[in-house]
Structure 1
């Protein structure tokens, strides 16, 4: 049997002593642990068994007398409820002892410590007195020590609607999907919400209580309160409403306001309707807007705003307040460290958009990194994207100079393969960007838009179609290309508008301006019948081969404007058949005089371990052995093969071409760089044309403006007269001695020119 002795002789101690069910303090920590009376976190309901608690105090964590104080801590309070213990909290608002502790009534709790120790020592009850360093909670604002105490508060009975909260959370589209699990895990542990706060600023609790009979009145509007109190109110802050009293309707006693403000999270929870003045006004607007389509905040708002919105909405309307939730990740500095004023690594929003501009900053956050991932902020990386916006502006200028006046297209005219390809890619872009935005995959939307702008439209289509817009091109070609450019650029601007609103607006107004703003246009509709997936795949293959040719050129130090005698593509027959259909496009983009195709190629085959590991698990090793025995040429063209009971898809395998040359998606490319006199001359002419075009630009000439050029060179240059005139829009070329001017050429072929 354990003997208990009262530690402090006071009224409360006597009451506890008389109660046989009272659980005494156990002075031995090991014994305390065996009896499961350590400080622990109790379950939410009263338990029958004592083994349901987690130990929160160990021999090396926590100091002093291990005790249960249900009135001074959340865990202790829950444990006290479990054992039906009383929960005294003998401290007032200033943390001074109340009359419950007669000996030290009015004393500040920490100032009384020495007197209590002295008192215990005098009674022969002090076991030990000393100081121990340990962790202790501090005020987040002023860093002074905190004391937890029990107070009377107003609660929202969240536990009564918890099941409904979880049910409605399941219906919400959470982006990313794992955010749903986080929120539901949080909701499962929801407790009643203490709404009241002992603050000055904030929404004043609109509840008046009778001092005599405890009757309460709740007011739903300023007008209701003014009518009841028979007064006019300037505002509803604490200093204005606290003095208001009136007679109780039941007992004629005095009714005074409950002296609390509301938790500011309650403000955030009621924002969707409070901001509209609902239910007093804007009812139709609220019904139209609620529940809202999408809310976006950082991941910490799972327990913050997302939660307060959900609780308030379920309590009032019985349904979720939002259809979709977008959860964004944290922004760190470029080294991956948390931004902090004390570290001096904070990048302020105002500084960022002052330095970069709003559009560049927005584009930076809508590319590469998923919104819910942690992102390192780098000014250098953000500034690198400025070239994307420059390309968009230049496309607008190109459209104005080359296309706008040629509109008036009849679709019965023949569209060339590059036109059909761009129309298909534009509609594929609409489909993919729309889907990505709906899924809150802003990084995918940004990536697709930038790729289309920089690669598809600017680098490829404009290059392929430019000849058909030159001064000597046919009216039919000009109208066709102009209509296709109009179609693609207009839709691109609409898709870009949510991400880069200002640049999109500027280019839209300059080029189109059908409506006062691009943001007043309808979202581009998808024309599914224009999508040609087969053509897109074949062009992807072609462009991959072109990219390999360009890499090979770099290796051989051959500029793109210099023509090359011959290019060769080594690939299986089924690949070559696709490439041959687009031979002219490959030749034009890679600047090849001739293109040959050769199916004499061998491949090395290897397993794609990243895929087969996930797909086949324990059989991965066996699959790898099977793949090592396969004939690469035999399986290369197949989308799917079945071998030894396993089905392998093309993505499960990796093919590597054997031989000399530059590898591309389906084989090798090589360049034969035999330099004939004709090729040397053409390379020199290309240098001349580039230099003249640069001079035209410096002079501010437009495409229509014709020029006269004086050229000095060998007799060979005269053979290229018509080519030069067409390329630079010259009305006349004068061959003869040039004084001054500029010298260009290629190797030993030197040309001097000047404008007349």
Structure 2
């Protein structure tokens, strides 16, 4: 915005001062935002005037929009990922509200589960107290107090971000009514037959002594011990296999005592090799016959020290069917015959020749594939590991030894039996508990499961629902779909204390769960009044079973339900309790929730209601530092939202979120925040310019659209484009590029174009001049549109800009809807014409910049260039080119200009010429007419008329 025409303050002392006749911008809206100071005061004003209550009252009868809040965990201050998530939700809710819908937002919290329980236990450990000796009701009370404390802090921090919602009536999974509904949802699966107790391997944390969900597991690189073990053939399917040994490879030597089979691939080529020579230190024996996948033989030679061998025969895996092996610890004296059983060789479609030996040792209690194969062939599932990670009595010779320290003992036992073919180590990714950061194991234990493929067909129905869900971005559909398609039955039980119990009784004689609606209703009634603590009260079994049953005949299940099941139930209480319709319009969380909350919510709702709880899913990425690294306190690269708000204000953080491509991982740091602050400054200055040039504007000034100059109509066309883009984002939740587009509109179409051109008219034209009135008419539109367009993002700044114009007593900008944009504003033909004009204008301004750089002129108003439009621009000749190029004159030529300094672009050509005449003291234009007025000899005729 150069070449501004305020009055010349360098005029002679004897000349008249015309400053008072110029319409200089006037506004109370300051250039500096001072957001950290102003934002809390704005929040206090909104609370005092009950902004949310006003919105709800005005929204009566409107179409509901429901973004159901995925509950954050109440166990610490907010981090930057929380801020990203809640800001994005708030923007989408506010945009829906301003699009004319009733978008009430109910925030919620996840309050049960291991992280809180673990934190409370840390307090006991610090005091050297045994948590298990604390009465369970006392322990649960401490967990509840801990969660309540952090819920309050997080609520305040979310509100400080400018997030508007029903904070007074939030939902929490630990509310008594919520606990009752969660128990009721478990009961639905109990009654429809999908809930069962079974023995199968689950992810188990030996440190926390509980099963874990996939979403509670993270992966870290570790170095694991490995072994190659040789299983002697005792019943060959072919004569050539007599006396041979099958070699397996594993990265979990501790699972060898749990081995009950070996799997092969039916289409893999297996080599029977005779050991002719071994390297020094090899554990192999010369003369042995070993069976190994042919493609993996070279790698085995190196790892096991096989120096020389002869190939006896190659078999297809299918030919091995029926072969029986001996356990590699058969006859081991310390086990006293505990491993003297046969080990069948079984076909497994999961076996590959990518690594190892092409044979997989099967421990049905320690792997999903192992368990499935074992179940298919009727193998026993020994419980070889206790809940603390030590070997059980079903592991003779190793009982009491922790599995993570067992590899030396297993190596030694196999070596003693001559069945250790090789040992080593491997660096690889291994599952860890995200809470304790300790490695986990697969362990078969009795757990409660929800069947995926019984008569309720949860898997099939869930996949159908995914196909009919709108995903942003769309690749989320394949991600959650593949997870649902491949997942096992849902393990929902946890062996902990802080949570909703699986309120089920099991008949001790039959082992079947009791499915009695009367008993279930007694339980639910108690939970509604007393919370889930009622399950742990003395005499609870007799109370709930009633007089018709003997409590001694039933087991009262004391497992709690998985917290992912709990959060998956939130639709069942958060929506109806607040009068919101089901299913929700939108679920919005980080991309990891495809295996977390999206997943559990889908399965829970499908299993109880045959319908997904959402119509659409939006996912965002994770927040990294400016170098793309994960944030960690040890690296010192953490950006805390509390610090950002203290230094910059919440609006800068909100702008960062919406300026980012949140479908991917986002980056943040001091440099990026500085860039966002600069973008904010430009947007704020745009609003300030609009406000300054609207001083005193009234409806009487408004010019009908049909009477507006082309420039103003072109800008309104751009308004219609931005409006359409914004409304589309509000409808389909795809906000990628919206804020950059609005910023570009402000910088390119407004500041560098409209404002530059119309400054002269706004400052210097008569108050009633149609050109000035037209400009002010469009400036009014721009202020209303930009304030409302930006209101979902810059919640504090737009409120300030709105009230700076309409007064402190006016309605909040957040009570407005997006302004209606008449269809006639969309004019593609006009836009095409002005796109060509802007290209030619760029040619002219480029030539002027060269003259300025050379010192020929100081201002474009000192120029009166010659311009040739060419045949392709002939239809542009009727436009006010001098006005549009901000020059004092401009001559259109019929032929290209000649001489030095001609600039061309396509057919267009321009030549710089200085303006002839004197400089007007009021508008600074250089015109021959300056000096002709007797009354105002230093003014041009336009300015003379304006000051008359």
1:252 to 541, 550, 563: 550
SS in 2 for 1:133: strand
Name the structure 2 match of 1:422. Answer: 715
SS in 2 for 1:443: coil
Does the 8 Å contact 2:469/2:614 carry over to 1?
A: yes
Does the 8 Å contact 1:568/1:598 carry over to 2?
A: no
Does the 8 Å contact 2:583/2:614 carry over to 1?
A: yes
Does the 8 Å contact 2:865/2:914 carry over to 1?
A: no
Alignment of 1:539-578 (within 5 A): 539-557=834-852, 561-573=859-871, 575-578=872-875
Residue 325 of structure 1 deviates from its aligned partner by: 1.8
Of 354-363 and 108-117, the range deviating more from structure 2:
108-117
Alignment of 1:480-559 (within 5 A): 480-512=774-806, 516-557=811-852
Provide the C-alpha distance between the structure 1 equivalents of 2:634 and 2:488, rounded to a whole number of angstroms. Answer: 35
**Residue 131 to residue 723, structure 1, CA distance change in 2 (3 Å):** same
Name the structure 2 match of 1:704. Answer: none
1:58 aligns with 2:355: yes
Does the 8 Å contact 2:450/2:492 carry over to 1?
A: yes
Name the structure 2 match of 1:701. Answer: none
2:469 to 152, 167, 172: 172
**Residue 56 to residue 594, structure 1, CA distance change in 2 (3 Å):** same
Provide the C-alpha distance between the structure 1 equivalents of 2:519 and 2:747, rounded to a whole number of angstroms. Answer: 58
Name the structure 2 match of 1:475. Answer: 768
Alignment of 1:347-746 (within 5 A): 347-367=639-659, 369-377=660-668, 378-401=672-695, 403-405=696-698, 407=700, 409=702, 411=704, 414-470=707-763, 473-475=766-768, 477=770, 479-512=773-806, 516-557=811-852, 561-573=859-871, 575-582=872-879, 584-585=880-881, 587-597=883-893, 667-674=907-914, 678=917, 681-682=918-919, 721-723=938-940, 726=943
Does the 8 Å contact 2:568/2:600 carry over to 1?
A: yes
SS in 1 for 2:865: strand
Does the 8 Å contact 1:339/1:346 carry over to 2?
A: yes
Alignment of 1:7-156 (within 5 A): 23=261, 31=291, 33=293, 35=317, 50=347, 52-55=349-352, 58-59=355-356, 67-101=361-395, 125-128=417-420, 132-135=424-427, 139-142=433-436, 144-156=438-450
Residue-by-residue CA offset, 1:19-53 (whole Å, 9 max, x unaligned) = xxx85799999526475899xxxxxxxxx993732
SS in 1 for 2:604: helix
Residue-by-residue CA offset, 1:406-434 (whole Å, 9 max, x unaligned) = 64536399322223223333223211221
Residue-by-residue CA offset, 1:451-495 (whole Å, 9 max, x unaligned) = 333333444334444444447615253544433322332122222
Does the 8 Å contact 1:206/1:219 carry over to 2?
A: no
Of 132-141 and 262-271, the range deviating more from structure 2:
132-141
Name the structure 1 match of 2:69. Answer: none
Of 171-180 and 387-396, the range deviating more from structure 2:
387-396
SS in 1 for 2:617: strand
Provide the C-alpha distance between the structure 1 equivalents of 2:637 and 2:657, rounded to a whole number of angstroms. Answer: 19
Name the structure 2 match of 1:265. Answer: 564
1:307 aligns with 2:599: yes
1:340 to 632, 637, 655: 632
SS in 2 for 1:265: helix
Does the 8 Å contact 2:848/2:912 carry over to 1?
A: no
Does the 8 Å contact 1:564/1:591 carry over to 2?
A: yes
SS in 2 for 1:93: coil
1:206 aligns with 2:510: no
Does the 8 Å contact 2:292/2:357 carry over to 1?
A: no
Does the 8 Å contact 1:371/1:441 carry over to 2?
A: no
**Residue 418 to residue 686, structure 1, CA distance change in 2 (3 Å):** closer
Does the 8 Å contact 1:431/1:526 carry over to 2?
A: no
Residue 440 of structure 1 deviates from its aligned partner by: 3.2
Does the 8 Å contact 2:844/2:885 carry over to 1?
A: no
Residue 552 of structure 1 deviates from its aligned partner by: 2.8
Residue 357 of structure 1 deviates from its aligned partner by: 2.0
Provide the C-alpha distance between the structure 1 equivalents of 2:354 and 2:846, rounded to a whole number of angstroms. Answer: 66
Provide the C-alpha distance between the structure 2 equivalents of 1:467 and 1:200, rounded to a whole number of angstroms. Answer: 74
SS in 2 for 1:366: helix
SS in 2 for 1:326: strand
Structure 1 runs not aligned, ≥5 long: 8-21, 39-47, 602-658, 690-713, 732-756
Does the 8 Å contact 1:117/1:126 carry over to 2?
A: no
SS in 2 for 1:245: helix
Residue 78 of structure 1 deviates from its aligned partner by: 2.6
Does the 8 Å contact 2:656/2:673 carry over to 1?
A: no
Does the 8 Å contact 1:273/1:286 carry over to 2?
A: no
**Residue 571 to residue 218, structure 1, CA distance change in 2 (3 Å):** farther
Residue 336 of structure 1 deviates from its aligned partner by: 2.7
Does the 8 Å contact 1:365/1:443 carry over to 2?
A: no
**Residue 155 to residue 125, structure 1, CA distance change in 2 (3 Å):** same
Name the structure 1 match of 2:234. Answer: 3
Does the 8 Å contact 2:350/2:369 carry over to 1?
A: no
Provide the C-alpha distance between the structure 1 equivalents of 2:516 and 2:650, rounded to a whole number of angstroms. Answer: 45
Residue 195 of structure 1 deviates from its aligned partner by: 0.9
Provide the C-alpha distance between the structure 1 equivalents of 2:901 and 2:762, rounded to a whole number of angstroms. Answer: 39
Normalised to the residue count of structure 1, the TM-score between the two structures is 0.68
Structure 2 runs not aligned, ≥5 long: 1-231, 236-242, 246-259, 265-283, 294-314, 322-344
Normalised to the residue count of structure 2, the TM-score between the two structures is 0.56
**Residue 268 to residue 427, structure 1, CA distance change in 2 (3 Å):** same
Residue 194 of structure 1 deviates from its aligned partner by: 0.7
Does the 8 Å contact 1:576/1:597 carry over to 2?
A: no
1:275 aligns with 2:574: yes
SS in 1 for 2:540: coil
**Residue 581 to residue 295, structure 1, CA distance change in 2 (3 Å):** farther
SS in 2 for 1:343: coil
Name the structure 2 match of 1:294. Answer: 586
Residue-by-residue CA offset, 1:166-192 (whole Å, 9 max, x unaligned) = 211122111122322333233322321
Provide the C-alpha distance between the structure 1 equivalents of 2:826 and 2:234, rounded to a whole number of angstroms. Answer: 88
Provide the C-alpha distance between the structure 1 equivalents of 2:711 and 2:840, rounded to a whole number of angstroms. Answer: 16
Aligned length: 605
**Residue 76 to residue 145, structure 1, CA distance change in 2 (3 Å):** same
Name the structure 2 match of 1:642. Answer: none
Does the 8 Å contact 1:515/1:521 carry over to 2?
A: no
**Residue 114 to residue 84, structure 1, CA distance change in 2 (3 Å):** same
